[in-house]
Amino acid sequence: MKKMKYFVYVLFLAIGCSEDDDTSLNSNLSGLQGEWSLANVTGGLIGINENFKKGMIIWVFNEETKTVKITNKNTNDVYDVLSSGTYTYSILVVNDSKELIIDDKNIGNFELTTNQFTIDDQFRDGFKVTFNR
């Protein structure tokens, strides 16, 4: 009987342990490094859909220093995420989703492919922004 209690205790301990769901992604993000141009912004309460000329708004990521340098030449009153400047960034992994954090502000869910990445904040009546190489 004592062995059975020990077995049940170990079983509950093993089942109760899990990995932390909220962890920072500290590894190389393979592909984020370099220059990205804002291509499109959609969403928001008024439902905008705005395309940007390549080079109008450029984000340059440096994975080594975890900074992004933004050059924003947009003069329209359209949402364009951030003003020109250099910001720190990180990627937060929450329940198998990645979120982009810039200067400690969560700006949305983050998805990266070889030549494109998106930041999607539409679930909070925000915007979805698409960047291309």
CATH topology for 23-132 is Lipocalin (2.40.128)
11 sits in which H/E element: helix 2-16
131 close to 41: Cβ distance less than 8 angstroms: no
What's the token pair of residue 3?
A: 């062995």
Q: Is the pLDDT of residue 111 over 70?
A: yes
Tell me the pLDDT tens digit for each residue of 60-71.
Answer: 999 999 999 999
Question: What does the pLDDT read at residue 30?
Answer: 54
**Mean pLDDT taken over the chain:** 83
Asked whether the whole model's pTM tops 0.85, one would answer no
C-alpha 24/C-alpha 17 separation (Å) is 19
- All structural domains of the chain with their residue ranges: 23-132
Q: Quick one: which of 132, 96, 93, 94 has its CA closest to 115?
A: 132
